[in-house]
Amino acid sequence: MHFAFICLPATGHVNPTLPVVAELVRRGHRVTYATSAKYAEAVEAAGALFFESGEDLAAQFPRSGASAEGGRPAALRGGMLAGLAPGMMSGLLERLLERAREEFPALLARLATDHPDAVCYDAMTLAGKMAAMKLALPDIALLPSYATNEHFSMRELMPARPPAEMLAAWKQVRRLIDDFAAEQGLTHFNFMEGQPASLNICFIPKEFQPAGDTFDASFHFVGPSLGQRAIEETWQPRGKDSPLVFISLGTTPLNDRPDFFRMCLEAFAATPWQAAIAIGDRIGVSELGEIPDNIEVRAFFPQLEVLRHANVFLSHTGMNSTMEALYFGVPLVAFPLQPEQEANARRVEDLGLGRRLPAEALSPARIRSVIADVGDDQEIRRKVEAMSLRVRGAGGSAAAADAIEHFLSTPEHRA
C-alpha cells in the first residue's frame, strides 16, 4: 500500500512518526512524507519519499529570553504557537496560512497524481485533515499528545479562566482557519473541535491518558515510538560512578533561557553530581560563563542515549521528552514553558512520576534540592519503573503499523 504522511514541521511531532514510517516500509509498503525541508534527511533515512511542504516553525519565532512577565513566556496554548503575545500569534498564523494557501494545491496535486491508500496526518496539521477530506481518502490521525473524547478534553488541563486577550486571539485564529477551509470548499470543516479521525494513533500509553478507559476502539494507545534515530550519535557519561542529571528544555524557541541555565551550572558545580545540559541553538555556550568540569554543555545531546544513563531528567515535560524519560525509567523534575507542558507536569505529579520545579523564587539551591530529592525518592522510582513497563509494553511503532494495516483491511477500506 501507499501511505501519505503529512506532519507539522516541529521535532516533537515528526520524531514519533518516523519509526512508524520505517516499520511500514519494512513491511513492504510505500510512504510519501510531507513536511518542511529541515526534516528531509530524517524522513529519507526512515525509507520514505520526501515531499517538501511547510516551513520550520521554530525559525519564525523571535528570541524570547525571559522577556515575558515574571520571567516566563506568556502561555497561550500547547504547541508551537504557545508563548506568543496574542497579536504576534495571530500575525504568525496569518503568515503560515498564506504559505499554506500557496502550497496546499501542490500537495493535493501530488496526492492526486500518486494516489495514496490513506492519509496519515499529525492531528495539528490543517493540510492533512483537509487533504483527506478533499480527496475522500481514509483518514488516520497521529496524536503526539493527549486524545480527546466526550469524557476528556485538553481544556480540562488548561487554565480555568484564560485571559480575555487569549480568547480574542483564538477567535481570530478560528476565523482564519474557517476562511481557509471555505476557500477549499470545506464548509463543514471544524479543525478546533471536529470529530476524531476514523483511526487515531496515540503515542502515549493508555495509563498516561486521562480517562483512558473511556476511548473507543478507533483510538490505539501505542506509547512512544522511539526507533533508531539514524542521525543521533552515541554518548557516554564522563564518570561512571557519579549520578547524572540531564537538563533540557526541548527544541522549541522558548528554550532560550540563559539565566536558568546559569543557575543550573551553579547548582551542580563542585558537587558529586555530573550534569548534561542541552541549551538549544538560540544561545551560545559562551553566554553562560565558565563551565565546571563535572558539567557538559551542548546545544543538543542525543537525548535517547543520555536518558539511558540519567538518574533524573529536569525537563520542560514536552510529551516526547516525558515519554522518553518514562521509557528509560528516569524520574522527572518538571519545568514547563507552555500550557500543554503544564498539563504534562501536572499529570507527572498526579501519577507520582516526579515533581515540579517551582518557578517562583527559583535559585541554584532549590534546583539542586528538588533534583536530589526526586533522585532519592524510592516511591517515585517505584512508580516510574511500573510506568516504564507499561510504556514499553504499549507496542510502539509495530502496534501502530498493525493498527493501520488492520484498519485498511476492513471491507469499507479494502482496495
pLDDT digits (tens, 9 = 90+) for 360-403: 889 999 999 999 999 999 999 999 999 999 999 999 999 999 99
Does the pLDDT value for residue 234 go beyond 60? yes
DSSP reduced 3-state for 248: strand
Chain segment 316-358, per-residue pLDDT in tens: 999 999 999 999 999 999 999 888 899 999 999 999 999 999 9
Cα-atom radius of gyration of the chain, to the nearest Å? 21
The amino acid sitting at 17 is T
Element (H, E) at 50: strand 49-52
Does the pLDDT value for residue 141 go beyond 50? yes
The label of the residue with cell 557519561 reads: 237
What mean pLDDT value characterizes the chain? 86
The label of the residue with cell 477551509 reads: 181
Strand partners, 247: 277, 314
- Contact, 299 vs 279, CB < 8 A? yes
For 393, residues 6+ apart whose C-beta sits below 8 A from its C-beta are: 205, 223
pTM: 0.87
**Burial of 395 from C-beta contacts in 10 A (0-12 / 13-18 / 19+):** middle
pLDDT value of position 66:
40
Distance of CA 17 to the CA centre of its chain: 11
The amino acid sitting at 296 is E
A 10 A CB-CB count for 404 gives 25
Element (H, E) at 332: strand 332-334
In degrees, to the nearest 5, what angle opens at C-alpha 67 toward C-alphas 64 and 70? 125
Task: Provide the CB-side half-sphere exposure for 188 (13 A, CA).
Answer: 3
**What percentage of the chain has pLDDT greater than the value 90?**
63
Rounded to an integer, the average pLDDT of 202-226 is 95
Phi, psi of 72 (to 5 degrees): -120, 145
pLDDT value of position 57:
60
For 208, residues 6+ apart whose C-beta sits below 8 A from its C-beta are: 323, 326, 347, 351, 387, 390, 391
Chain segment 278-301, per-residue pLDDT in tens: 999 889 999 999 999 999 999 999
Domains of the chain listed by start with CATH number: 2-223+395-409 (3.40.50.2000), 244-393 (3.40.50.2000)
**Burial of 328 from C-beta contacts in 10 A (0-12 / 13-18 / 19+):** buried
Q: State how far the Cα of 368 lies from the Cα of 372, in Å rounded to an integer.
A: 6
Phi, psi of 33 (to 5 degrees): -120, 120
Task: Provide the CB-side half-sphere exposure for 25 (13 A, CA).
Answer: 18
pLDDT value of position 89:
55
